[in-house]
Structure 1
């Protein structure tokens, strides 16, 4: 998720304060035994999660399939629905109760979010989910009966008359529910806005969803507070939205009754767009003006969507939508479909939403080629009030974004279809596995798009530091030295740290891993392996760490410990130069020091007074025995200079001691 135009930048107050403190830094003692301690993993691999990072031979996860029929009243803003949830318990544990997530309940006064961070929004116990029926039944759906339940803020516990059997036991739940959509709803994941052509309605977190039951925590019931996003089971979702005729609907998955509900002309243009590499206008501004949308002009229209193997769905409705689309070409030869819907006010310039479909098409093709092929039939952008929010195959992006900001926003949000929608990590506990991984892959997508039209990707572009991410991350790490780490859940920390840490620090750390520590070939193979092995499954941080180590063939415990479990700092220094037997022609001896706790490989550029330049690469293992290392270079004359990290790739907090100048 991104808030348009505000969360792309590192907080200036954080950076400025940290920069002022850099001049008074005191070097800390480097402890090699702590940096390279052999006990990063607290448990061995098991039948569920192998020591090599792959899902184990006994890996299991539960499943939740949904059939939902919902209606929306655009006057009262009331959504009413019936959700049939078919739940499969593949765990080895019989289940006496089921937990559901009710994110719309952030509108209630009792929600934890409103206690921890008092809201200026209108709050009421009449808002959020209201339940008219909660029933359970056996596998065949017969004998539905009322069941007792309790609601605790954004969580709902349903007590079952009979246990759901282990190892494949089935349960069906049927819930009749309703809620009133707010202008900003469910922690800014849904909402509406007015335009001259009609109101845009965006629906996320719009139905009760079963919490994950896994081998790591059992029931995952952390409440929805606002910073942590979601973690849900995979399943097939079949949903029908009934809304006033004349409104256009888009949703996650495939529209399966388009021919029946769409105006003939729109439907024909939709088919043309699905076969076109160039963006095709499906519903023009003139069509919006003339009210051309659905076959029916009065009454209601029911839109039927289906999405397979997904952890969520979202949708949007409006009479104001301009609609365009284009074909997505996937590496296997399969096709998908990129589409965008937006109001006329978002299409005023050539750099605005008229290019949105181009951006999503290019992003999906890039991510598919680099990491894992996109599995869904459509990839949809919606322009509206939400600053930036991702759902499987559909994103809500701010209607005022344009140019580079629009590309970054669209690419980032649709990139979430990989992390965490395909690779189903726990966003509520571990934001770096979705926000950070996604920000990392954005960097290369932005380089690739249109020969780098909007490159480089810069999360810190509004911060001081000369435009070098390696320099800009230094004050961030200094500020949080004794604060939250990348392993800290977002709702357990001051939100000012979430973006600099989960997004920027994670992404920069993966760049270090790819460009400095492993190299692109080894990193890319390991990262693709992780993505493929954990596609549509639930990885934990240690699964990622183990996968990267095993697939790349490298012990990286020092890096995970320093960068992810701690906020260790780096300061490499040149401390001396001498010559073998005081004779420069016999070779030079260069002594370097690791003055802070984070070790890193060493790169050195050495100039001689006469003779060729010398370039040296030293592995991180030189720091396993202590904080100093002396290496020999085959010089032919006195050295003119020694420069550590000559390309400024490392987050070195004091670059002044990276340089040695000869007499």
Structure 2
């Protein structure tokens, strides 16, 4: 660092911060990064206001369903019928209705399959699945078979199927404020979820010959019609999820009489489908869930599930569920299910937290799943709104993680011997929290997933990270920590698309960071670094409250966060959500300034020290041994006045002149002159593109340190390079930008001044022996070393 002594105290006082940070004219850059989003956002109107709140004319249509469905456990097939009542709350007359036929994605000629790209690697070859991604769909005929579409009087309605969409033409337009009822009959073959990579389907267990079914996207359901899009009838290609509307559901599900069924909503007939013992356990669980360490109650025990696996069904049972004000309905069914439950108090009311899982999921699931459900409901409710539904399920089966109102499908299975890795346990914790958390986004704050994946995945991943840390402060919450998004942001811009991209247009290999971790990290940076926790938490809760049971757009989120916090964030949305540039700040150099002191005690002492440094040459050091042999040393008559004169001694005249000088200064100038203040000018560059707050750590020569923080607006006059003056009373020995890795800087090598030398590591040459086989997980290793016998085929609840 270069030290410069200012020639006069008046010069140092006039050297202001504003002058220090303003670069010379040639480097000035007129930029738009801090201008308002303006025309990039939809114009506010009476449906959606400039504040981000719903307007006075906001509307949403609704659809109520009465569904009867039967599972064929022999053919893996669903046969069903539904009566739908559709309410038109818009001001438009609707001549036709659009419904989603998501199962049609599994037709081999669906656009979602034919538009998949693949290639052959000449050196590595290609698997059959890579050559023909839809090959697994050719063993049966998949997709809907629609057998009837008729009005309330039973008269056939004209309909047209366009791949995953169906248009029903109405005999007369549906007027504003009116409703129409109609019925549909259909059936379809259920896909093998793992072989197809589907969001729902079945898993077959060869050892006992049974199935676990997780059934979703299974009934023709209404598309959304709103002020932003009209009909949202964009085809389902597989990546962009679902855009749905609210309604009430009554669903009767007929299955073999040894099956256990969980679904969106409340079970209406427990006394008809549960044994007397199971019903007693059901009732006992209602008072459980508020005390730490409280174990879930097993409504269906492992022994009962194992017995059902071995026996044959003797008939059928119909499980009836009701779900009010939900946007979708899903269910799971199997004779393999163990069922445990608690009913914790969430926001002043009891809510069912329940899990369904086969024995293959233990011991992990019995120990963790239901408690994770309860924890998630509590954590998310604190940050948004009290969970309004009566139940939340976590179901284990073939799906790695997928969400629906009040029910989610989750992965993470231990090995056959009952052991599991730390990664498997962490995945279970994160996936249950994430998928149960989706009850809030988008099941209640009902965003358009077909268009904007980040509005539910990103917001939910952010809350998931906070909930994971509330579960275990040592949990590796990498989905929200800025340093972990760096590898993605280091990618070439051609390998990224902005967060504000349509869901189906996000590159598949970067969908995870783009829709999940980048927006989640951005929100965490807003909370921790840009806005602060208090302002962020208030604004985020206000957004959640405003839009619960409504359908927000991105503009509604952006506007509400600013409206409720009083923080201008347009520059942030531009950089993080509309662009693909990274964050890369560089501390180029630091110049050190001190006022030129007039105090003779200081100036003459400094002059003496400088003279001594100049005189301390190698020759002087070596001649010191013979200095007594000099002529002057041996003959005192050769000495005169100047041999004893000290030019650096402070005289009375020096002191008088200094006091006269001080008398000319104002009190502030005198204080600065006597303080010995250090002025440091930091030269900074924004090499990445996204302007971000400047956070700099100062390490002082006395071993202490301090952190200075400057908001992102420091770049508003020039977003390429700036200079900033920092004053300290102590001397700084080391400067470091972004010391706590808060802003996702993609290159920290240039964040220190003076530069910190990092060694290049090398390994001493040694012939390596042994193979590359993956080591067993630590739990398995310990069990093997202790010769622990394998676990029984069926486990209990996994109590602590």
Instruction: Please indicate, yes or no, whether the TM-score normalized by the shorter chain is above 0.5.
Output: yes
Q: 1:150 to 1:284 in 2, by over 3 A?
A: same
1:616 to 692, 695, 708: 708
Give the secondary-structure state (helix, strand or coil) at the position aligned to 1:421. Answer: coil
Corresponding residue for residue 134 of structure 1: 149
Contact 1:606–1:615 at 8 Å: present in 2 too? Answer: yes
Equivalent residue pairs, number: 615
SS state of the match for residue 319, structure 2?
strand
**1:365 equivalenced with 2:412 (yes/no):** no
Q: Could you list the per-position Cα deviations for residues 334-358 of structure 1 after superposition, in whole angstroms to 9, with x for gaps in the alignment?
A: 01011111111111x3x34442111
CA distance in 2, matches of 1:144, 1:33: 64
Which of 280, 301, 318 is the matching residue for 1:284?
Answer: 301
Q: 2:457 aligns with which of 435, 441, 457?
A: 435
Task: Note if 1:119 corresponds to 2:139.
Answer: no
* 1:173 alignment counterpart: 182
Give matches, 1:144-543, under 5 Å.
Answer: 144-166=154-176, 168-184=177-193, 188-195=198-205, 196-197=207-208, 198-277=210-289, 278=294, 279-291=296-308, 298-331=314-347, 333-347=348-362, 349=363, 351-398=364-411, 400=413, 402-449=424-471, 451-452=472-473, 455-459=475-479, 469-479=481-491, 481-482=493-494, 483-543=496-556
Question: Which residue of 2 is the match for residue 628 of structure 1?
Answer: 721
Cα distance between partner residues in 2 of 1:103 and 1:312: 13
> For 2:48 and 2:512, how far apart are their aligned partners in 1?
30
Shift of 1:399: 5.7
Partner of 1:105: 104
Query: Post-superposition shift, 1:273?
Result: 1.3
- Stretch moving more, 566-575 or 472-481: 472-481
| Contact 1:608–1:635 (CA under 8 A) maintained in structure 2 | no
Instruction: Give the whole-Å Cα distance in 2 for the aligned partners of 1:612 and 1:630.
Output: 25
Deviation at 1:222, TM superposition (A): 1.2
Q: CA deviation at 1:144?
A: 3.7
SS of equivalent residue, structure 1 residue 226? coil
Structure with greater strand share of residues = 1
Which of 577, 593, 596 lines up with 1:579 in the alignment? Answer: 593
Instruction: For residues 515-571 of structure 1, give each alpha carbon's deviation from its aligned partner in whole angstroms, at most 9, with x where no partner exists.
Output: 000011100111111011101111000100000011111111110001001012222
SS in structure 1 of the partner of residue 137 of structure 2? coil
Deviation of 1:173 after TM superposition, in Å, equals 1.9
Cα distance change, pair 165–598 in 1 and its aligned pair in 2 (3 A): same
What residue ranges of structure 1 are gaps of 5+ in the alignment? 1-28, 138-142, 461-468
The separation in 2 between residues aligned to 1:610 and 1:192, in whole angstroms, is 66
- Find the aligned partners of 2:358 and 2:240 in 1 and give their Cα distance: 30
Is 1:262–1:293's contact at 8 Å kept on the other side of the alignment? no
SS in structure 2 of the partner of residue 192 of structure 1: strand
Distance in 1 of aligned mates of 2:755 and 2:376: 49
Deviation digits for residues 582-611 of structure 1 (CA, Å, limit 9, x no counterpart) = 676253333323233210111111233359
Change beyond 3 A, Cα 1:639–1:32? farther
The answer as to 2:601 corresponding to 1:603 is: no
State the 1:630 CA deviation: 3.1
Moved more, 191-200 or 312-321: 191-200
Cα contact 1:30–1:596 (8 A) shared by 2? no
C-alpha change, 1:236 and 1:566, in structure 2 (3 Å) is same
Structure 1 length as normaliser, TM-score? 0.88
- The question of whether the paired residues in 2 share the 8 Å contact of 1:107 and 1:124 is answered with no
Residues 620 and 330 from structure 1, CA distance in 2 versus in 1: closer, same or farther, beyond 3 angstroms? same
Change (3 A) 1:358 1:637: closer
Instruction: Tell me, in whole angstroms, the C-alpha distance in 2 between the residues paired with 1:235 and 1:478.
Output: 44
- Asked if the contact 2:42/2:555 (under 8 Å) is kept, the reply is no
Moved more, 53-62 or 578-587: 578-587
Structure 1 residues 632-641 or 422-431, which shifts more?
A: 632-641
Aligned to 1:36: 34
Partners of 2:396 and 2:409 within 8 A in 1: yes
> Residue 34 of structure 1 aligns to a residue in which SS?
coil
| Contact 2:356 2:395 (8 Å CA) reproduced | yes
Give yes or no for contact 1:486–1:564 (8 Å, CA) kept in 2. Answer: yes
Specify the alignment match of 1:558 in structure 2: 571
Question: CA 1:101 to 1:602, structure 2 compared with 1: closer, same or farther past 3 Å?
Answer: same
Inter-partner Cα distance in structure 2 for 1:563 and 1:287 = 52
Structure 2 gap segments, 5+ residues each: 1-26, 117-132, 415-423, 598-675, 757-800
Q: How far off its partner does 1:30 sit?
A: 9.7
Aligned to 1:5: none
How many angstroms apart in 1 are the aligned matches of 2:399 and 2:699? 54
* Distance of 2:478 and 2:707 partners within structure 1: 29
SS of residue matched to 1:199 = strand
Q: Distance in 1 between matches of 2:507 and 2:230?
A: 27
1:580–1:589 CA contact under 8 A, matched in 2: no
Give 3-state SS (helix, strand or coil) of 1:320's partner: coil
CA distance in 2, matches of 1:572, 1:472: 17
SS where residue 161 of structure 1 aligns? strand
Which range moves more in the overlay, 495-504 or 398-407? 398-407
Between 193-202 and 578-587, report the one with greater CA deviation.
578-587
Instruction: Using the TM superposition, give the Cα deviation of residue 106 of structure 1 relative to its aligned residue in structure 2, in angstroms.
Output: 1.3
CA distance 1:84–1:203, shift in 2 (3 Å): same
